[in-house]
Structure 1
Amino acid sequence: MSFLTAMQERYTTKMYDASKKIETQKIEELKQILQLSPSSINSQPWKFTFVSDQNTKEKLSKVSWINTEKVINCDTVVVLSRIDNLNTFEQQIEDALPEGAVKYYKEFIKPLPEDQIKSWFDKQVYLSLGVLLSACAAMGIDSTPMEGINPKDYDTILNFKDQATLVAVAIGYRDEEDFNQPSKKPKSRLNLDDVVQTV
């Protein structure tokens, strides 16, 4: 299957079949794919938490607003969080990045107010979200990106200390009755010419 076909067939899954499990090998591949996600100056200000334990998913489901059933019935919830402690981040890049990247951070990012620095972190995490959704499509795994969650409650349930939840993704396999799949509800997008231009 081509990548274009995979993207044509992917959709935001509304109903999961709890009896269908993702193969362990595919979960391990997704972890590696997330590790390889791009970020500005290779900053990697993130953590990715894979939650498959049913008891933990039950707790998360209670603070996931309209996404309760998705969290309970999907195979795994992937929680994407950013580093929330600037000292932790700065130590990480000092240890892991070349001098030029660290210099860029100190010159252009560090002088910003803390909320703007964390907003820059957020943008990097959202790059990895796109990678994850695309990888799932290419691997035949259904997915649901979820901002409709209570991030602070997620942090508490998952015992996060120096990280803050931004978004979660339910992954698994669709219920055949899911009303949102393209065979039942065709994808709706703006016309190609309205969103892509050639100069």
Structure 2
Amino acid sequence: MSFLDLANKRYTTKQYQSGKKISEDQIRQLKEILRLSPSSINSQPWKFVFVGEEQKKAELARVSYFNEQRILDASHVVVFSVIDRVEDFEKQIEEHLPEGAVNYYNNMVKPLGEAEIKSWLRHQVYLSLGFFLSACADMDIDSTPMEGIQSEEYDRILNLEGYKTLFAVAIGYRNPADSNQPALTAKSRLPLEAVVATV
């Protein structure tokens, strides 16, 4: 299947088949795919937490607003978090990145100040989201990206230290009755000419 076919097929799942689990092999593949996600200067300012245990999922569901049922029914929830302290990030890149990448950060990003640095770090995590959603579609796994969660409660429940939750993704297999799937409800997008230009 071409990537364009995958883009047409993929959608944000609203209802999952409760109890249908993703195989351990596919979970292992998704973890490796996230590890290989692209980021500016290979900065990798992230941590990804896979939650499949039902009690822990239920705890997260209770602090996820209107996403509660999706989390309960999905196979897993993947929590995307960003490194919290700029000092910790700088230590990480000093230890793991080549001099040129560190120099780029020191000369182009660091002078912007802490608020802009943290914004830049969050942007890198969002890059990994697009990579992950595409991988799920390729593996016939349905997904729901969710910003409608109580991030600080996620941090507490998962005992995240040094990282802050940005968003989560429910993954699993759609309920055949899910009305949001393209086979039942056509995708709604702006016309090509409204969003893409050629110069």
Letter in 2 for 1:182: P
Residue 188 of structure 2 is matched in structure 1 by 188
Residue 13 of structure 2 is matched in structure 1 by 13
Tell me the percent identity. 57
SS of aligned partner of 1:81:
strand
Letter in 2 for 1:49: V
Residue 35 of structure 1 is matched in structure 2 by 35
CA distance in 2, matches of 1:112, 1:151: 26
Residue 83 of structure 2 is matched in structure 1 by 83
SS of aligned partner of 2:182:
coil
Residue 113 of structure 1 is matched in structure 2 by 113
Residue 103 of structure 1 is matched in structure 2 by 103
CA distance in 2, matches of 1:88, 1:56: 28
CA distance in 1, matches of 2:58, 2:171: 15
Letter in 2 for 1:154: Y
Cα shift at 1:195: 1.3
SS of aligned partner of 1:26:
helix
Alignment of 1:99-178 (within 5 A): 99-178=99-178
Residue 73 of structure 2 is matched in structure 1 by 73
CA distance in 2, matches of 1:71, 1:50: 12
CA distance in 1, matches of 2:138, 2:191: 23
Residue 62 of structure 2 is matched in structure 1 by 62
- Give the structure-2-normalised TM-score: 0.97
CA distance in 1, matches of 2:175, 2:42: 38
Cα shift at 1:88: 1.4
CA distance in 2, matches of 1:19, 1:4: 30
Displaced runs of 4 or more, over 6 A: none
SS of aligned partner of 1:111:
helix
CA distance in 2, matches of 1:128, 1:105: 19
Cα shift at 1:184: 1.3
CA distance in 2, matches of 1:39, 1:148: 24
CA distance in 2, matches of 1:69, 1:115: 35
Cα shift at 1:115: 1.7
Letter in 2 for 1:191: P
**Structure 1 stretches lacking a partner, 5+ long:** none
Cα shift at 1:196: 1.4
Letter in 2 for 1:189: R
Letter in 1 for 2:51: V
**C-alpha root-mean-square deviation of aligned residues, in Å?**
0.9
Letter in 1 for 2:81: S
- Give the structure-1-normalised TM-score: 0.97
SS of aligned partner of 2:121:
helix
CA distance in 2, matches of 1:115, 1:49: 25
Letter in 2 for 1:161: E
Deviations 1:51-94 (A, max 9, x none): 10111100000110000001111001010000001121111101
Letter in 1 for 2:80: L
Cα shift at 1:19: 2.3
CA distance in 1, matches of 2:111, 2:155: 28
SS of aligned partner of 2:167:
strand
